[in-house]
Amino acid sequence: MPKVIEGNLSAKGLRIAIAAGRFNDFITGRLVDGAMDVIGRSGGDPEGTVVMKVPGSFELPLAAKALAQTGNYDAVVCLGAVIRGATQHFEHVAGQMARGISTAMLETGVPVSFGVITADNLEQAIERAGTKDGNKGAAATLAAIEMANAIKGLK
């Protein structure tokens, strides 16, 4: 029988940091609320959670990497919202941000989850921030908790 390493959804004892973009804060604020709710419901300490606010989603990769490199956190959750406009700005920001978040995780070895909404319009963003489509901040936090526990299972 093979040894299976799998994370669980208990945040008890985990040190979690959140990097959140201020741009589109009316959406990002809901994502942060969802993340904090999950931390509390999963046995973690919402009061002990660090939230690093950055100008926008484009800055999230650097924030994630800086937080992860401190060695103070078991996982980092990136939260933001990029809403398509009339220009190509959306494609540039979304693509580079996703690549940067992935790179931060791979270079530091710390789980970094992707809780950034990329939406075609405001209505889609609102749906993903806590209405019809759930809360992507909560979902990203669950992924971060599971990955942090899975990585701890390697030791």
Listed residue (60, 62, 118) closest to 90, CA to CA = 118
Strands in 30-104 per DSSP E: 50-54, 75-83
Q: How many residues appear in the chain?
A: 155
C-alpha span between 69 and 64 (Å, rounded): 9
Q: Which amino acid is at 21?
A: G
Give yes or no: 89 in active site: yes
The DSSP bridge pattern shows strands 129-131 and 134-135 to be: antiparallel
DSSP β-bridge partners for residue 20: 53, 79
Catalytic annotation, pick one of 12, 70, 89, 121: 89
Catalytic positions, written as ranges: 89
